[in-house]
Amino acid sequence: MILGIEVVLGILVFLILAYIAFIVYVNWPNDTPLVKDIRVTQEWTEVDISPALRPTKRVQEINLRIHNFKTDLRPHSFKITLRNGTVIEPEIELYDEYGGKFEMHHSGFVRKNYDDIVFSPGRPTDNKRESRGSGFMVTDDGDIVYSPSKEVTKLSSDRTYTKLRIRSDIPFTCNQVYWRDCNPK
């Protein structure tokens, strides 16, 4: 009988560990770093992407990670406000192998153990307080919610993307610019 309890406990421990491993695997970031430690200025900075990017999932994003950046948690806040109070509005363009330009627009924020700024392909909306992409935003109740939008388009999977350009009227330093190609849960 004691052997039976040990076997059952062993199986239970194995299942719990397998479940934890599965959750970690599903949530493990599949981001592709494009450039690190870049100074974004008023002039366009070009970044050659190698190997070229090819979308394979439903959502494509270019995300910016800025040291010590924290998302503004006020309701409907959609501004990118740095720690010193400066509001920035980066412009990002992605180019395909044929030279076609795809403008990326601020569409939300990623909040994990870091806060990143999300840019998605598509048209910006007139209302700067509404999320325009697949990121997260804060509601009137202070909840952080996933906010997909009809304004976001999917990049075509029949081409590759080989160059990124970035600029900002107000210069800032970006720790990392990365590509995310994912199927949101």
Q: Which residue has the higher pLDDT, 34 or 24?
A: 34
- Specify the CATH class of 32-182 in words: mainly beta
Residue 185: band (very low, low, confident or very high) from pLDDT cuts 50, 70, 90: low
Taking only the tens place, the pLDDT of each residue in 126-145 is 444 444 344 455 554 444 44
Q: Summarize pLDDT for 144-175 with one digit per residue, the tens.
A: 444 544 456 778 889 999 999 999 999 999 99
Instruction: Of 61, 40, 58, give the one whose Cα is nearest residue 107.
Output: 61
pTM: 0.74
